[in-house]
Structure 1
Amino acid sequence: MKKINYPVVEETLYQETLDNGLRVTLLPKPDFHKTYSLFTTEYGSIDNKFIPINQKEYCQVPDGIAHFLEHKMFEKEDGDVFHIFGKQGASANAYTSFTRTSYLFSTTDQVVQNLETLLDFVQEPYFTEETVEKEKGIIAQEIQMYQDDPNWRLFFGILNNLYPNHPLHVDIAGTVESIQEITAKDLYTCYETFYHPSNMNLFIVGNIEPNAIMKVIKDNQLKKEFEPSAPIKRDLPSGTEPGIIKESSLTMPISKPKAVLGIKGVTPLPTTEKEQLIYKTAASLLFQLLFGSTSQNQLSMYNEGLIDDSFSYEFNLERDFYFADISTDTKEPERFVKTIEDILLTAKTSPDVTDERLALLKKRLLGKHLQSLNSLEYIANQFSQLTFETVTLFDLTEIIAQIQLADIYQVVDTFFLAENFSHFFMYPEEVKE
């Protein structure tokens, strides 16, 4: 078991890749009563075209199947896994993103029993046509609920503009129509391909003894048989290919228009994992400089009544794509996106982008990061989201400190390109008398 010390944050990680390919990371926190575990597969909503294990031809599965599979994993022949966790004093959950699916529990008691339950239920699938059909109605209601959510529709509206030819624009849960096509056989095909231990990682943080917990994991895995590992072949269009829908809109029963400006990243990202994390951190700081609560831009837009408290911005960098979205509720949606465009295109000369403000925001970001390290949930989820193998969450302290204005300018030059901006508007429905 590899031991990695991080003296700056006073943390020690224990890592090992098991013989079956499962990557295990343990972070003991003896001062905590709680233990939090996250079992993740590198399989998300965009992975809908691939070569199944032991086959040679690509297959296309229905949209939403990764999320559907996540739901079905908790239902077994002898009952609901949530009930087992509850009896063992644990709280369990799961979630699916564009690129991964995670199963988790948190507990202050019976850590070993809950860990074995987590490993066993995720590694013992049980699907039947009857239970699959039953689940379709439940997930259809969930999809409809999100379709009625204006902010959810706004987000996927801009994604559809930015990625019209990429599965990223499809709702993670799929559509009511697409999930009707899912069969038990489809679920087993996806499970057997993507839930192999070599495509998964297990992260445990809390009041644990590393050697004892690692023995529990190894003993558990030795009881199970898996196919030999093989590289997974996905068929995905490049997330950095040029080509967007410049503008679109829809109407919904809302009281005030909504607007979002999206930016699609098309410039190839740096090749090393550390450089990618530097780029991601610099982009985050850049958006705080331009649009954060202490920026002149946000204050000016707020005073002009162009934005309200709904104003938000977000930068995402994932497996093979990166994008940003800036949105608000506003009575002047067209003027809002024009103002945002002007700010982005003049970012290098903005009075908000200075060495002095960058230094202040770096201190704030570092303080927030160090404070977040007191949250087991934050640590586990950040480790799961960082697909990097040579850098970790604990390297972020050093990376924040080394960000310079030159790194900020690099993001401006490679990301803020007018041809990759897109607008999506949502207008109130007209009241019919």
Structure 2
Amino acid sequence: MEVLEYQQLNEKVYKETMDNGLQVFLLAKPEMAKTFGIFTTDYGSIDQTFTPIGKDEKITVPEGIAHFLEHKLFEKEDRDVFQDFTRQGASANAFTSFTKTAYLFSSTSEIEKNVQTLLDFVQDPYFSEESVEKEKGIISQEIRMYDDQPDWRAFFGTIQSLYHEHPVKVDIAGTVDSINTITKDDLYTCYETFYHPSNMVLFIAGNIEPEALMKQIRENQASKEFAEQPQIDRFYPEEPSTVAKKEHSITMPVTTAKSMVGVKENVEGLTGQELLKAELLSSMILDYYFSKSGAYYEELYKNDLIDDSFQFETELDRQFGFTILGGDSRKPEELANRIKEMLHQLKNEKIAEEDFSRMKRKKIGQFMRALNSMEFIANQFVHYHLIGVNLFDVLPAIESLTANDAEEYVNQWIKEDTIAVFQVKPQQS
């Protein structure tokens, strides 16, 4: 077992790679009452085309299957695993993103039992034709529910306007039609390919005794048999650098229009550290100009183009990246045009050294406060680990940034053919 020390943050992470390839990270926080565990596979909704383990030819599976698989793993032949966690005083959950699927629990007691349950239920799949058919109805309802949510439609509509071919444009849950084609065999194919321990990470943070817990995990994994796992071959379509649709809109029963501006980010060839740097700079620059204390936000608000629903976010990963800004507006076209002008205008703005120092201090403060949350530490540690970065290297990464870095980033950031506008407009009476 290796001990990674981060003296600046006064943290120690205990790390071990099991014989089967599972990477385990433990962070002892004895001052915390709650312990949080997350068991993650490097497999998300965009991984639709791949070569199954033991096969020679690639296949394309139905959209939404990673999310479907997440649902089905909780259901065993004789019980629902949620009940196991409840009996042990734990709250359990799971989520599927574009790039990963995670299973998690939080608890203040019976940590060892809950870790055992987490490992055992994820590593013991049970799918039957009957239960798969039943799940199709449940997930169909979930998809229809999201289809009725204007905020969700605005978010995914913007991504669909940005991307031509890449599966990031597909809703994580898939469509009603796509999930109805999923079979039990499809689930086992995806499980056997992507749920091998060597493609997974276990992270536990909280009131734990690292040596004893690592021994328990080691013994748990040694008691199970896993075949050797070759590298997984995944395939993604060629994606143009330009957006798919510069402008697109839909109508829904809303009283106020939603106007979103998306920027298609170029992540091709970026290393983990480069992705981190771009993510930090993007979030800091957007915060500086578009947060409630920012000059651009103030202008938009004074001109009655936005309300408190206005928001922005950047997501950068190994295969895709996007930035989205917008919200409710009584003047959706005017808002979209002004945001686009502001984004282009960033090239002419120069952030003074003193202002950039304040931006860094604010970012550091936000990061340090977030480290009080076990959920944040666990989720972000795994997120960064999968792109080749350590969570506890984020602080020195922020500290190393300069105003010149921000200027260089802005100069290559915004291009006309990488911006798309998506709007949800009220239906005409």
Q: CA deviation at 1:144?
A: 0.4
Q: Tell me, yes or no, if structure 1 residue 11 matches structure 2 residue 15.
A: no
Contact 1:312–1:328 (8 Å) recurs in 2: yes
1:397 counterpart letter in structure 2: L
Residue equivalent to 1:248: 248
Q: Deviations over 1:152-197 (max 9, x none)?
A: 0001111111112111111100011111001110000000000000
Flag the 1:179–1:116 CA change in 2: closer, same or farther, 3 A.
same
Match of 1:125 in 2: 125
Residues 73 and 386 from structure 1, CA distance in 2 versus in 1: closer, same or farther, beyond 3 angstroms?
Answer: same
- Residues 285, 361 of structure 1: 8 Å contact kept: yes
1:409 Cα deviation (Å)? 2.0
Q: How many residues align?
A: 429
Matched, 1:398 2:396: yes
TM-score for the superposition, normalised by structure 1: 0.96
What is the root-mean-square deviation in Å for CA atoms of aligned residues? Answer: 1.4
Is the 1:262–1:423 contact (alpha carbons within 8 Å) kept by the matching residues of 2? yes
**For 2:82, what is the secondary structure of its paired residue?**
helix
Describe how 1:6-155 pairs up with structure 2 within 5 A: 6-155=6-155
Mapping for residues 147-226 of structure 1, pairs under 5 Å: 147-226=147-226
Partners of 2:370 and 2:44 in 1: CA distance: 26
CA contact (8 A) 1:269 1:276 kept: no
Match of 1:301 in 2: 300
Cα distance in 2 between the residues matched to 1:12 and 1:414? 38
CA contact (8 A) 1:240 1:266 kept: no
Contact 1:48–1:62 (Cα < 8 Å) also in 2: yes
Residues 226-305 of structure 1: pairs in structure 2 closer than 5 A:
226-238=226-238, 241-266=241-266, 268-271=268-271, 273-305=272-304
How far did 1:274 drift?
2.2
3-state secondary structure, aligned to 2:385: coil
- Asked if 2 retains the 8 angstrom alpha-carbon contact of 1:285 and 1:358, the reply is no
Identify unmatched segments of 5+ residues in structure 1: none
SS across alignment from 2:245:
coil
Q: Alpha-carbon deviations, 1:238-262, whole Å to 9, x = none? A: 5674442111110000001111110
Q: Which deviates the most, 129-138 or 339-348?
A: 339-348
**What SS is found at the alignment partner of 2:151?**
helix
Distance between the aligned counterparts of 1:357 and 1:216, measured in 2?
Answer: 50
Stretches of 4+ moved more than 6 A in 1?
A: none
Q: Which residue of 2 aligns with 1:369?
A: 367
User: Quick one: distance in 1 between partners of 2:87 and 2:212?
Assistant: 23
- 2:301 and 2:242 map into 1 onto residues whose CA distance is 33
- Are residue 407 (structure 1) and residue 419 (structure 2) matched? no
CA distance in 2 between counterparts of 1:191 and 1:374 reads 34
Percent identical residues: 47
CA–CA distance in structure 2, aligned partners of residues 308 and 392 of structure 1: 37
Asked if 1 retains the 8 angstrom alpha-carbon contact of 2:267 and 2:319, the reply is no
Shift of 1:269: 5.0
- Identify the range of structure 1 (86-95 vs 236-245) with the bigger mean alpha-carbon deviation: 236-245
Unpaired runs of 5+ residues, structure 2, are: none
What is residue 355 of structure 2 aligned with on the other side? 357
Match of 2:342 in 1: 343
| Cα separation, 2, equivalents of 1:280 and 1:115 | 32
Q: Does 1:425 align with 2:394?
A: no
Q: Quick one: structure 1 residues 267 and 192, their matched pair in 2 at CA, closer, same or farther if it must change by over 3 Å?
A: closer
Taking a change above 3 Å as real, the CA distance of residues 147 and 15 of structure 1, as seen in their structure-2 partners, is: same
How big is each residue's C-alpha offset from its partner over 1:270-329, in whole Å with a ceiling of 9 and x where there is no partner? 33x223212211111111122122111101110110111110110000121111011111
Give the Cα separation in 2 of the matches to 1:429 and 1:378: 39
Match of residue 327 from structure 1: 326
Tell me the TM-score normalized by structure 2.
Answer: 0.97
